[in-house]
């Protein structure tokens, strides 16, 4: 699969509020990936709608086809996946190196075929991203593991995965998702303790329960799953939930540069903490059932008032919005501390903000202090991961002068036709070959 070398060019607004109108949110990347992977648990087709047409979904679809599943996509976000022809247990390096979320497939493939081979998963360079929790707990379900030449092979007992009690040492999103799916096909009962509570995890569990899986405790930190074999295909279509990180990214973009900017087709209830932080900081925000409108600054506020951020598992402030929020702090009045508690490599992009003129100081791999407001100047930037890439677009829009943001593919992993949608609300952005 040849990745196009492209970059974005942004002509900055020079610290004006240049964005208005409305922008629609697409289906959730981190909601779609586990539900697509769950097709391996079914003996017939599942039908999805509102699937985002982003690179990570294309990679996951390629992996599903390599496993033998039939995948049919239509042009408006519909997808049918038929698991009846699942037959291969090998995740190839070419695709899974580009997609950290390929680890979600380990549980379904092991449960279905009793064996899975895979390279250490790739994806964002936001830290070591170990897979010790996966290996440790598949062993607990009776698997043996061998590794040669960078390829791991997990093999279940001949009677298949054995249900057991698992306590996660941390609330891991994809580990929770893969072990929920392992439990659906395991023999006996699987109890999962200290599970992640992200909406995308809850949606996966509800989807499987609606399809006949025996899952109790959904929405709490302990799940009980009674293994009862393959699930039947579903006639009824399932809509992927709106992407709360995309909506949150646009919310923060609007908080900095918006005046009467409305974010549509989103779930404000998934963003209560970021909305609260921004309202306290002086941003005028109105919400309805499925939209968020950023009016501008509240009366009496010259600038956004700076604040401290501490990333936390859901429902706390999401690590995936940390980079956009740090850009906002470069324009905040005062000093803000950014404490990234989830990943150790997720603050490196702040060096680039410094190069643009931000006053940021990194204390260690988890702490940065940002003073503002600071004048930013356009620069040539390279996006290091999906979310910092979008943060660079946000920073370039505020800045004075022109910026380029390379590695457009990394942003396309999580945001569909981003430049077209941002242009529509007033950003001077275009995509060119690098
Ligand atoms: C999911 O990644 C998301 N990806 C990430 O979004 C998100 O940042 C992250 O959850 C946290 O919310 C998908 O859902 C596809 P974790 P995941 O396991 O599951 C450590 C984006 O931009 N850990 O919850 O990989 C890990 O290093 C992406 O959309 C282990 O130590 O994250 C991290 O410090 C980026 N050992 C912590 O757990 C393991 O075996 C939480 O990570 C697994 C994880």
Please tell me the predicted confidence (pLDDT) of residue 100. Answer: 86
Is residue 247 within a helix (H) or strand (E), and if so which, with residue range?
Answer: helix 244-257
Please tell me the predicted confidence (pLDDT) of residue 130. Answer: 85
Q: What is the mean pLDDT of residues 262-266?
A: 98
Q: How far does the centroid of ligand 1 lie from the alpha carbon of residue 124, in Å?
A: 10
Q: Which two tokens stand for residue 80?
A: 């049918």
Please tell me the predicted confidence (pLDDT) of residue 125. Answer: 67
Give the pTM: 0.97
Q: Which residue's alpha carbon is at the smallest distance from atom 26 of ligand 1?
A: 129
Please tell me the predicted confidence (pLDDT) of residue 338. Answer: 98
Pick from 322, 273, 403: nearest CA to 126:
322
Q: Given a cut of 70, is residue 215 above it in pLDDT? A: yes
Q: Which two tokens stand for residue 73?
A: 């996509």
Please tell me the predicted confidence (pLDDT) of residue 4. Answer: 86
Q: Given a cut of 90, is residue 275 above it in pLDDT? A: yes
In order of 141, 165, 218, 243, the CA distances from 189 in angstroms are 11, 8, 15, 32
Mutate which of 102, 137, 145, 174 for ligand 1 pocket (most atoms within 8 A of beta carbon): 174
Q: In percent, how much of the chain has pLDDT > 70?
A: 99
Q: What is the atom index within ligand 1 of the atom nearest the CA of 313?
A: 12
Q: What is the mean pLDDT of residues 216-222?
A: 98
For the question of residue 124 being annotated catalytic, the response is yes
Q: How far does the centroid of ligand 1 lie from the alpha carbon of residue 403, in Å?
A: 30
Burial 1-34 (b: 16+ CB within 10 A, else e): eeeeebbbbbbbbebebbbbeebbbbbbbbbbbb
Contact 282, 297 (CB under 8 A): yes
Q: What is the atom index within ligand 1 of the atom nearest the CA of 177?
A: 19
Pick from 203, 184, 174, 181: nearest CA to 99:
174
Please tell me the predicted confidence (pLDDT) of residue 247. Answer: 98
Please tell me the predicted confidence (pLDDT) of residue 398. Answer: 98
pLDDT in tens, 7-65: 999 999 999 999 999 999 999 999 999 999 999 999 999 999 999 999 999 999 999 99
Please tell me the predicted confidence (pLDDT) of residue 157. Answer: 98
Please tell me the predicted confidence (pLDDT) of residue 122. Answer: 64
Question: Which residue do the tokens 């298949």 mark?
Answer: 160
Q: Given a cut of 70, is residue 124 above it in pLDDT? A: no
Q: In percent, how much of the chain has pLDDT > 90?
A: 91
Q: What is the atom index within ligand 1 of the atom nearest the CA of 196?
A: 24
Please tell me the predicted confidence (pLDDT) of residue 118. Answer: 94
Mutate which of 120, 154, 172 for ligand 1 pocket (most atoms within 8 A of beta carbon): 172
Neighbours of 228 (CB within 10 A): 13
Q: Which residue's alpha carbon is at the smallest distance from atom 24 of ligand 1?
A: 172
CA distance 8 to 381: 10
Q: How far does the centroid of ligand 1 lie from the alpha carbon of residue 426, in Å?
A: 33
Rg for the chain, CA atoms, rounded: 22
CA distance 353 to 361: 11
Catalytic residue, chosen from 124, 230, 241, 353, is: 124
Q: Which two tokens stand for residue 24?
A: 């629609």
Tell me phi and psi for residue 137, to 5 degrees.
Answer: -90, -25
Please tell me the predicted confidence (pLDDT) of residue 345. Answer: 86
pLDDT in tens, 408-420: 999 999 999 999 9
Q: Which residue's alpha carbon is at the smallest distance from atom 8 of ligand 1?
A: 320
Q: How far does the centroid of ligand 1 lie from the alpha carbon of residue 212, in Å?
A: 28
Q: What is the atom index within ligand 1 of the atom nearest the CA of 245?
A: 29
Please tell me the predicted confidence (pLDDT) of residue 59. Answer: 94
Confidence of residue 98 (pLDDT cuts 50, 70, 90): confident
The mean pLDDT value of the chain amounts to 96
- Backbone region of residue 205 per phi and psi (left: phi > 0; alpha: psi in -120 to 50; beta: other values): alpha
Q: Which residue's alpha carbon is at the smallest distance from atom 41 of ligand 1?
A: 172
Please tell me the predicted confidence (pLDDT) of residue 288. Answer: 98
Q: How far does the centroid of ligand 1 lie from the alpha carbon of residue 116, in Å?
A: 21
Q: What is the atom index within ligand 1 of the atom nearest the CA of 29?
A: 29
Q: Given a cut of 90, is residue 96 above it in pLDDT? A: no
In order of 108, 109, 124, 186, the CA distances from 90 in angstroms are 12, 9, 22, 20
Q: How far does the centroid of ligand 1 lie from the alpha carbon of residue 414, in Å?
A: 15
Please tell me the predicted confidence (pLDDT) of residue 99. Answer: 87
Please tell me the predicted confidence (pLDDT) of residue 82. Answer: 97
**Any residues with Cβ below 6 Å from ligand 1, and which?**
29-30, 33, 100-101, 124, 127, 129-134, 170, 172-175, 196, 245, 319-320, 342-343, 386-387, 414
- Enumerate residues 6+ apart whose C-beta is below 8 A from 431: 6, 7, 8, 9, 408, 419
Q: Which residue's alpha carbon is at the smallest distance from atom 39 of ligand 1?
A: 131
């Amino acid at each position: 699969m040849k990745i196009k070398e492209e970059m974005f060019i942004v002509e900055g607004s020079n610290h004006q509020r240049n964005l208005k109108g409305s922008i629609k949110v697409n289906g959730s990347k981190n909601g779609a990936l586990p539900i697509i992977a769950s097709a391996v648990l079914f003996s017939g087709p599942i039908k999805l709608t509102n699937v985002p047409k982003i690179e990570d979904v294309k990679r996951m679809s390629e992996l599903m086809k390599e496993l033998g599943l039939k995948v049919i996509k239509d042009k408006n976000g519909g997808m049918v996946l038929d698991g009846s022809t699942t037959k291969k247990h090998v995740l190839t390096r070419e695709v899974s190196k580009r997609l950290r979320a390929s680890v979600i497939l380990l549980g379904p493939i092991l449960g279905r075929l009793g064996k899975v081979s895979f390279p250490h998963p790739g994806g964002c360079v936001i830290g070591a991203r170990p897979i010790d929790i996966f290996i440790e707990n598949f062993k607990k379900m009776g698997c043996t593991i061998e590794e040669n030449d960078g390829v791991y092979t997990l093999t279940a007992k001949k009677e298949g995965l054995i249900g057991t009690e698992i306590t996660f040492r941390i609330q891991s999103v994809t580990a929770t998702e893969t072990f929920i799916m392992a439990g659906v096909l395991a023999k006996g009962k699987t109890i999962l303790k200290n599970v992640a509570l992200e909406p995308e995890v809850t949606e996966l569990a509800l989807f499987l329960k609606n399809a006949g899986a025996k899952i109790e405790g959904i929405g709490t930190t302990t799940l009980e799953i009674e293994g009862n074999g393959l699930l039947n295909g579903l006639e009824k279509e399932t809509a992927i939930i709106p992407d709360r990180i995309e909506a949150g990214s646009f919310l923060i973009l609007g908080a900095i540069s918006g005046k009467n900017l409305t974010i549509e087709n989103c779930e404000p209830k998934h963003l209560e903490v970021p909305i609260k932080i921004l309202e306290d900081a002086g941003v005028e925000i109105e919400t309805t059932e499925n939209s968020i409108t950023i009016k501008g600054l509240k009366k009496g506020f010259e600038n956004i008032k700076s604040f401290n951020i501490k990333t936390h598992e859901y429902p706390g402030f999401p690590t995936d919005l940390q980079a956009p929020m740090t850009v906002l702090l470069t324009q905040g009045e005062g000093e803000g501390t950014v404490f990234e508690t989830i990943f150790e490599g997720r603050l490196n992009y702040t060096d680039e903000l410094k190069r643009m003129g931000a006053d940021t100081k990194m204390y260690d791999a988890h702490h940065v202090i940002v003073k503002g407001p600071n004048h930013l100047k356009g620069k040539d930037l390279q996006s290091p991961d999906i979310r910092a890439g979008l943060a660079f677009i946000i920073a370039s829009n505020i800045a004075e002068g022109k910026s380029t943001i390379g590695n457009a593919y990394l942003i396309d992993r999580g945001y569909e036709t981003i430049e077209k949608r941002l242009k529509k609300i007033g950003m001077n952005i275009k995509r060119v070959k690098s």
